[in-house]
Chain A
Amino acid sequence: MGYAQKRLASTAAKLASVAPSTLRAFPPKEAVASSSSKTSFFDAQTWAAVQPPPPTALTAFAHRIGLGKVLPSTEIIQQACTHPSFLALYSRHHPNEPLPATNANLATLGNSLLGLFATEYVNASYPHLPTRVLKAAVSAYVGPTTCTGVAKEMGATPLLRWHRTPNTPLRPAVLHPDALSSVPRALTALVYQYRSLLSARKFVQKFFLSRDVDLRTMIKFRDPKLALAETVAKFGRERPISRLLKETGRFSNSPVFVVGIYSGADKLGEGFGSSLKMAEFRAAEDSLHRLYLTRQPPHLLQLPTSTFANGQGSVFDARGPQVPYIAGEMGDSEILHGSAGRTGARVPGHRSTAADEDLEDI
């Protein structure tokens, strides 16, 4: 398909469409021009946007994401799929009817829950990750773009009720991705309300934390050799030395050099390249990745929310079996690179020296 056809298909998907089988009368009375009524303009697109989605579609959506038994009625699902921007459109076209329930509060609650679960998961899985990379990883796992993608994959696009609002001085614009991203957040909040915090955590792990995020691309340095030297000094180890391990094809048009970086007898990392400098650069990057991306295996993860009992209602009042929680060991904190010495002395961190002192007693 060419670009124009793809663009047309995606625009058509964003437009509201109504199944005539769900309506009492089709075409609607407003659409039929009659001589007695005063001239009124009928916009099919606006009319379709105001109609509620059919209850069969809402139930099918709930079952598709595994919440068929959790969400008790279609009104709740409809509430989760109604963005607050819809109220302006609805009140203009149905001025005498009560306003529909929106997902404003649910989305805010769900957003907080998503942030909580993602942060504890990333922190427990990657204990040595630098702070800004941790924050970026949390955004990648549960941020607005991901929430929009999850909503589209769940099939919430035809069920979403929203209204495009332009930028005003009092509130930001509401575009299609913003409205879509509120749906998975609202669903998380509903799982928390109708089940428990730990069920909400399982829901978030199923749909958000199982997605692919490449953390290696988030950890990049202008000078990895310098960064590695500073990091090794902070951990109180010997200074890193690079050694050529293997080479082939020097002076030919396709040389390959394999360089390893050693701190004393420990090999920190290895890198390959078509020049010595390139191989050394990659070896330094590899060493830093091996440090910052040390991962706790998923079956050994200790998440702080496991200390809450698995029961319905308030998390602080629930009674039930609790899983024991063993806090992870903490190492020295990260180096703030390029901070012009503002972090303080470059001496080894106190946790590294404490470990050495224990050994000296033996």
Chain B
Amino acid sequence: MKLAPTTKPLLRAQLTSRPANGHVAFIPQIRKLVFEYCDKWPSSANARRYIHDHLEDLARTNPHVEIVVKQRNQREPIIRGFYLNDRDKVIPLNGFEVTGIQQKVQLLLDASGAKIKPLKRRTVESTTEAARGIWSGLHVDQPFKI
């Protein structure tokens, strides 16, 4: 009769690690930012001003992002952000001032590309143990009596 091995066999396929983006190094999730504007229509006026005045500085301070400027004639101006999880976020820019466009650009730069999930209903999930430990009624001086 053959006994089971004394130790659990370690199969090669399950030897992996889980990502921890931000624990030591942070990889920004945005890879490309595309500005689409119209040359003629007034709805793109602020977008054209932003591209003319602020886009070069933005590209210089964010070397990890590819920045593309495209024509989008006879339509409203938009910015499209492409992320490492193969999703993209699109924000229309009509109705914004230049400072508003800066805020939307910063929103796209900071985002992760994941779908927006409601945070109020979800319970806390963590890969690490609780920092203060989980309370046990048997490990206190006075045992907990119901």
Chain A residues with CB under 8 Å of chain B are 9-10, 12-13, 21, 54, 56-57, 59-60, 63-66, 68, 132-133, 136, 139-141, 143, 145-146, 149, 152-155, 205-208, 210-213, 218-223, 227, 246, 248, 256, 258, 272, 337-338
Contact = CB atoms under 8 A, between A and B. Distances in A.
Contact of B27 (A153, A212, A338): A153
B6 A223 contact: yes
Interface string B100-141: 000000000000000000000000000100000000011100
Contact of B63 (A59, A133, A155): A59
26 contacts: A9-B86, A56-B66, A57-B31, A60-B32, A63-B64, A64-B27, A64-B28, A139-B12, A139-B15, A143-B12, A146-B16, A146-B17, A154-B84, A155-B27, A155-B84, A208-B17, A210-B24, A211-B19, A211-B20, A219-B7, A220-B7, A221-B6, A248-B143, A256-B138, A258-B139, A338-B7
A139 B15 CA distance: 6
Contact of B16 (A145, A205, A221): A145
Interface of B: 3-8, 10, 12-13, 15-21, 23-25, 27-28, 31-32, 63-66, 68, 84, 86, 127, 137-139, 143
Given A12-B86, A210-B20, 19 more contacts: A56-B66, A57-B66, A60-B66, A64-B64, A132-B10, A145-B13, A145-B16, A149-B17, A155-B27, A206-B24, A213-B17, A213-B18, A222-B3, A222-B8, A246-B139, A248-B137, A248-B138, A248-B143, A338-B6
User: What are the 5 closest A-B residue pairs judged by CB atoms, nearest first?
Assistant: A338-B6, A220-B8, A211-B17, A210-B24, A206-B25
A154 B27 contact: yes
Nearest to B10: A136
A248 B20 CA distance: 40
A337 B6 contact: yes
Contact of B31 (A64, A213, A337): A64
A212 B17 contact: yes
Contacts of B12: 139, 143
A212 B24 contact: no
Contacts of B63: 59-60, 63, 68
Contact of B15 (A21, A68, A143): A143
Centre residue among B8, B16, B84, B138 by max chain A CB count within 10 A: B16
Given A132-B10, A220-B7, A210 B23 contact: yes
Nearest to A19: B68
A338 to B, nearest CB: 3
B19 A153 contact: yes
A124 to B, nearest CB: 17
A207 B66 CA distance: 22
A280 to B, nearest CB: 16
B16 A143 contact: yes
B137 to A, nearest CB: 8
Contacts of A206: 24-25
Nearest to B25: A206
B88 to A, nearest CB: 12
A109 to B, nearest CB: 21
